[in-house]
């Protein structure tokens, strides 16, 4: 139904184990593209099981845009040096640095937004919404929607990933957790622009 070459191709693309790749190909009836999607879902589901584990290894990576006027640096943590040295892990760190250079996130996640910043934006959106002459429960829904949209757009883990706009950065990190079987966390990051 499928060949060892298909297993190897799928394993190279996803980082899944041979057994996981076989199961995904069986489930997809030998279709490589479907098997890749099956495996991404399965490996991404492992992320929740890894979140509590300590991350004490990792890499720092940088990206400098071709004009030399924009650059970014990011820490990407994992559990072991074995994973930190993996070219796929290093590539993820580089892609994250490129994403940071392009999208200019201000915060890592929604949890990292200071309360006073959140409250200031909430007050601003409430003031705007009051001018719409709507019932109070509708105004609250509008404000909540605007807050989520605003902070999603400036929080790294909530932004659409630069290389696949259908996924958030957090989805890409969770898929990596599933591929490597280790907890992976984005640490500090910084963006420079002249």
pLDDT tens for each residue of 71-123: 999 999 999 999 999 999 999 999 999 999 999 999 999 999 999 999 999 99
Q: State the number of CA atoms in the 13 A half-sphere of 61 facing the CB.
A: 23
**Residue 119 confidence (pLDDT):** 94
Q: How far is CA 106 from CA 30, 155, 159, in A?
A: 43, 6, 11
CA–CA distances in Å: residue 74 to residues 56, 58, 124, 193: 15, 11, 32, 15
Instruction: Give the pLDDT of residue 44.
Output: 59
Contacts of 94 (CB under 8 A, 6+ apart): 61, 63
Give the residue with greater pLDDT, 52 vs 160: 160
Superfamily (CATH H level) for 4-45: Ubiquitin-associated (UBA) domain (1.10.8.10)
pLDDT given for residue 161 in this prediction: 97
Other beta carbons within 10 angstroms of residue 160's beta carbon come to 16
Confidence (pLDDT) at 84: 95
| Burial bucket for residue 194 (CB in 10 Å: 0-12, 13-18, 19+) | exposed
Determine the Cα–Cα distance for residues 97 and 90; give it in Å rounded to an integer.
11
Q: Where are the domains of the chain?
A: 4-45, 49-108+155-193, 114-153
Mean pLDDT to the nearest integer, 54-62: 91
Q: Is 183 helix (H, G, I), strand (E, B) or coil?
A: coil
Closest of 182, 176, 22 to residue 93, by C-alpha: 176
Output the CA–CA distances (angstroms, integers) from residue 37 to 22, 88, 140, in the order listed: 13, 18, 38
In the prediction, which pLDDT does 49 show? 52
- For 86, list phi and psi in degrees, rounded to 5: -65, 130
Whole-number pLDDT of residue 41: 73
pLDDT value at position 113?
A: 93
The percent of residues above 90 in pLDDT, for the chain, comes to: 58
pLDDT on residue 179:
85
CB of 152 within 8 A of CB of 144?
no
What pLDDT, on a 0 to 100 scale, did the predictor assign at position 70?
97
Residue 175: how many other CB atoms lie within 10 Å: 23
- What's the mean pLDDT when you consider all of the chain? 88
What is the CATH topology of the domain spanning 49-108+155-193?
Answer: Tetrahydropterin Synthase; Chain A (3.30.479)
pLDDT digits (tens, 9 = 90+) for 10-51: 776 766 667 777 888 888 888 888 888 887 777 655 545 555
Average pLDDT over every residue of 168-183:
90
pTM over 0.75: no
């Amino acid at each position: 139904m499928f060949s060892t070459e298909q297993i190897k191709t799928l394993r190279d693309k996803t980082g899944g184990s041979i057994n996981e790749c076989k199961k995904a190909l069986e489930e997809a009836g030998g279709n490589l593209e479907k098997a890749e999607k099956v495996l991404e879902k399965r490996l991404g589901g492992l992320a929740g099981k890894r979140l509590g584990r300590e991350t004490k290894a990792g890499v720092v990576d940088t990206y400098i845009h071709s004009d030399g006027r924009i650059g970014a640096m990011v820490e990407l943590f994992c559990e072991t040096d074995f994973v930190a040295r993996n070219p796929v892990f290093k590539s993820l760190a580089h892609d994250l640095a490129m994403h940071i250079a392009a999208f200019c996130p201000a915060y890592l996640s929604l949890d990292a937004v200071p309360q006073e910043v959140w409250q200031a934006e909430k007050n601003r959106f409430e003031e705007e919404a009051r001018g719409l002459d709507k019932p109070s429960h509708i105004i609250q829904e509008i404000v909540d929607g605007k807050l989520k949209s605003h902070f999603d757009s400036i929080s790294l883990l909530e932004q659409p990933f630069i290389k696949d706009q259908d996924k958030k950065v957090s989805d890409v990190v969770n898929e990596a957790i599933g591929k490597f079987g280790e907890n992976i966390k984005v640490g500090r990051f910084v963006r420079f622009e002249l």
